[in-house]
Amino acid sequence: MSLSLADILAAARTIRDLAVRTPLVPSPHLARLAGHDFLVKLENTQPIGAFKLRGAANAILNLPADVGGVTCCSTGNHGRGVAYAARARGMKAVICMSALVPQAKIDGIRALGAEVRIVGRSQDDALAESRRIAEEDGLVEISPFDDPLVIAGQGTIGLELMQDRPDLDMVLVPLSGGGLAAGVALAVKTIQPSVRVIGVSMDRGAAMDASIRAGRPVEVEEVASLADSLGGGIGLDNRLSFPLCRDLLDDVVLVTEDEIYRALQTLFYEDRMVAEGACVVGIAALQAGKLPVPKGPIATIITGRNVDMTVFHRIMAGQDVSLGDLTLKGQAYGA
């Protein structure tokens, strides 16, 4: 199964009435750090507060009219996208999630009328339940990342980036199961092969990074993270997102929880934006000096705003934050 720019262009036409074309805005503070224009793509302005609406909408709007309902596993935002798109089509939606998913994301999905099932303590547990429901109840499973229509939908972000700033030198993409990174890289590299596309993830439980290094999909231990949206495996039977990320990404960079903590503060205090930890991994990589030397403008994707506000408030106040067995020592911004 192959994907092309034509699939992404088709997705853009399909989702245009459900997902919005999001702004690409400059960050003067980050530009000073980078030495070049630094732009942020505001997917947190989507109706569900996250980019996942694009892929979910493309998959669900392409389903036959006689489909009775859909199911998926999710760390939060994909489930919200599936619930939103299913409601728009009048379909039943069952979202399977692990106990690691923040309550704010669970509540947001239920508010859209979907049924939520909490299963196990990993994305793999939630995936197994979603597949069981699909088989036993006759629902269509919508993969969060390993589906051609989902990848094409996410790829519309890359299309918009190149339309708005064809002079980009580097695109920083939060990396989890790889649907976003695969779609964005496919669009960007097809339009302008010289643009460097860098996947960025947390340094604990980064499944796609471990899989690329191993040369095949592998399992990782899922742990609590400020970048909770990047948690979970990529599936040992991964057909699409793994080979696309392996072949198209120029590099993968990992950042620590402390670096994510500081990047959340930077985005809020310098650009006045509320975002999830997963959104700021590109900013964290820039601040930590982990990126290749830029030769021109850089863009990163602010993937969502559906953050646990209790944790967010603690970070903005420079307080300690507990992540399972890890405690992040607080630090006031600029101290």
pLDDT in tens, the chain (335 residues): 689 999 999 999 999 999 999 999 999 999 999 999 999 999 999 999 999 999 999 999 999 999 989 999 998 899 999 999 999 999 999 999 999 888 888 999 999 999 999 999 888 889 899 999 999 999 999 999 999 999 999 999 999 999 999 999 999 999 999 999 999 999 999 999 999 999 999 999 999 999 999 999 999 988 899 999 998 889 999 999 999 999 999 999 999 999 999 999 999 999 999 999 999 999 999 999 999 999 999 999 999 999 999 999 999 999 999 998 899 999 999 87
Centre a 10 Å sphere on the Cβ of residue 1 and count the other Cβ atoms it contains: 6
Beta bridge partner(s), residue 93: 70
Beta strand 326-328 with 321-323 is antiparallel
Q: What is the CA radius of gyration of the chain?
A: 18
CB 39 within 8 A of CB 49: no
Answer whether CATH 3.30.2310.20 is correct for domain 5-46+148-323. no
Q: Taking the model in full, what pTM does it have? A: 0.95
Three-state DSSP at 151 gives: helix
Domain boundaries, the chain: 5-46+148-323, 52-141
Q: Give CA–CA dist 291/289, Å, rounded.
A: 6
Residue 1's pLDDT is 63
Q: Give CA–CA dist 176/207, Å, rounded.
A: 7
Residue 321's pLDDT is 97
The CATH number that domain 52-141 falls under is: 3.40.50.1100
HEC sequence for 226-276: CCHHHCCCCCCCCCCHHHHHHHHCCEEEEECHHHHHHHHHHHHHHHCCCCC
What is the residue-wise DSSP string for 2-26?
A: ---HHHHHHHHHHHTTTSPPPPEEE
> Both tokens of residue 238?
């991964």
Residue 335's pLDDT is 79
Q: Report the amino acid identity of residue 112.
A: L
Nearest to 41 by CA among 215, 282, 228, 263: 282
Three-state DSSP at 321 gives: strand
Beta bridge partner(s), residue 299: 39, 171
CB 209 within 8 A of CB 199: yes
The CA-atom distances, in angstroms, between 156 and each of 6, 73, 234, 292 are 11, 22, 21, 25
Q: Do domains 5-46+148-323 and 52-141 have the same CATH topology?
A: yes
Q: Give CA–CA dist 267/287, Å, rounded.
A: 11
